[in-house]
Amino acid sequence: MLLRFRGALLSGVRGYNYRLFSVSRSALSPKKGLVLGVYEKEKGNNGISFTEAAASFDRSVSGKLTEMMSISGPSLKKGKSRIFYGLHQDVPSVAVVGLGKKGAGVCGKENWDDCKENIRAAVSAGCRQLQDLEVQQVEVDPCGDGQSAAEGAVLGLFEYDELKSKKKVRVATQLYGSADTEAWEKGVLYGEGQNLARRLMEAPANHITPTAFAEAIEQKLSPFSDRVVIHKRPQAWIEQEQMGAFLSVSKGSEEPPVFLELHYTGNPDSSQAPLMLVGKGITFDSGGISLKPSSGMDAMRADMGGAATVCSAIVTAAALKLPVNIIGLAPLCENMPSGKANKPGDVVRAKNGKTIQVDNTDAEGRLILADALCYAHSFKPKAIVNAATLTGAMDVALGSAATGVFTNSDWLWEKLHKASVVTGDRVWRMPLFQHYTKQVTECALADLNNIGKYSRSGGACTAAAFLREFVTADHWAHLDIAGVMTNKDEVPYLRKGMSGRPTRTLVEFATVLASGS
């Protein structure tokens, strides 16, 4: 069947008379697509400011793209996209995306690079619009930063529908043109790393048990067996290591605990002290005897977000072949109510011998991290960074704008902050005052209490103060990622759901360390 079109088919535009031509319906089947960038118009310049790749495409179609843009309405705003059809016989669908102002850079007020964020958001919007048209292959304009463009494409197209019968069209993306190939490939790995964390966090708790989590990471690291050693430590080993705080949380569940230990050797120099990444791995958090409200409890399948981001960062570091040594630790278990579970008021003993009064069994993440942090010191690391969906108070304090960082090291803070400006996945420094330490050390029955004596005040800060009691390293940072665990519409290049943040910031931080900068 033949359809008659007025020029190149243009979404949202009526009454435009362009030369008439006829094409078959099959010829316009939107299987391939192209995403091209355009900048905001500058004052005094009425012309259209295309990226280098978009300008090249426009020349290849004799200026048709310029013509279409000119009649399609107002200047394209940042993060918005517009679809054009039939401009080129090999590319039935072209999405033009708004990149904002040309020459944008690091914004001190926002603590990120505006240019990179604009590219991620714009490319994501274009790719999604083409996906909705059931386009299966999309070429993407690097927009001056191939890594950011790749991240926007890979992150924007992710959706967890593995357990649904009807799935979204799978879209394969590739770089348009030959420039920025290395940067594009790096961005793809960064995006895929974060998507791995999102996939683990989204999966139901009956699919991702402690054992299943460890096996999933083992499978992802199997291609890098020449550089990665994996230890899935069983309960007997945990008992042998006298990790009483970790065991006290796990004993309420029928699922056995696993202490996952990953060694990535990117630098053969054995004298190089490793970077230590530690992640909270509660694969489901009911709250234990201090039971959580049922509303929203399903989201606690992602309470292993710390372990997911840390392990995904190591998978990405291995794929990038970063010349740095990293050790990852993930204490994995469930926090469930049962006749064996911790009871409020119980006292348990951590690996370093300190006793802990457990007044709230829903403050369990700090218990498993306490033992993991003690164990981390045995490797004499260069720095220890732990990540955990630790406190609702962190969400109250910062929301989803940034990960809260508590650290005893200005050097470590500067490195993490520098990394987050590049990724756009921001961090914000929080206080580690003695004011908070006193609230967890003044305890009736033990050396420490697992909650502050003013439980509703400064909850994220007292949790960090608790963890500090198990740290002797000069460079340690605790990342409370509870506020960034999920995404609604705050980050435009992530769909609604588990965010996988701050995986890319951890990878970039490792990259910064590897470069020595």
Residue 138's nearest CA partner among 77, 182, 181, 92 is: 92
Same domain, 140 and 249: no
Same domain, 134 and 247: no
Structure tokens given for 397 = 């304090």
Same domain, 387 and 272: yes
Same domain, 9 and 45: yes
Please give the pLDDT value at position 45: 63
Tell me: the pLDDT tens digits for 85-143?
999 999 999 999 999 999 889 999 999 999 999 999 999 999 999 999 999 999 999 99
Look at residue 26 and tell me whether its pLDDT is greater than 50: no
Same domain, 371 and 498: yes
Please give the pLDDT value at position 42: 76
Same domain, 256 and 290: yes
**Looking at 163, 179, 195, which one is the last position of a domain?**
179
pLDDT band at 1 (very low <50, low <70, confident <90, very high): very low
380 catalytic residue (yes or no): no
Look at residue 12 and tell me whether its pLDDT is greater than 50: no
351 within domain boundaries: no
Same domain, 212 and 137: no
Q: Are 341 and 251 in contact (CB under 8 A)?
A: yes
Q: Residue 359: is it exposed, middle or buried by C-beta count within 10 angstroms (0-12/13-18/19+)?
A: buried
User: Which residue among the candidates 80, 292, 382, 418 is catalytic per the annotation?
Assistant: 292
Q: The domain containing residue 337 runs over which residues?
A: 203-344+361-434+463-515
109 catalytic residue (yes or no): no
Same domain, 131 and 256: no
pLDDT band at 31 (very low <50, low <70, confident <90, very high): confident
- pTM passes above 0.75: yes
Same domain, 173 and 233: no
Same domain, 143 and 214: no
Look at residue 310 and tell me whether its pLDDT is greater than 50: yes
Same domain, 118 and 157: yes
Residue type, 423: T
Look at residue 28 and tell me whether its pLDDT is greater than 60: no
Please give the pLDDT value at position 27: 46
Same domain, 70 and 127: yes
378 within domain boundaries: yes
213 within domain boundaries: yes
Count: domains in the chain = 2
Q: Are 248 and 367 in contact (CB under 8 A)?
A: yes
161 within domain boundaries: yes
User: Which residue among the candidates 116, 232, 366, 468 is catalytic per the annotation?
Assistant: 366
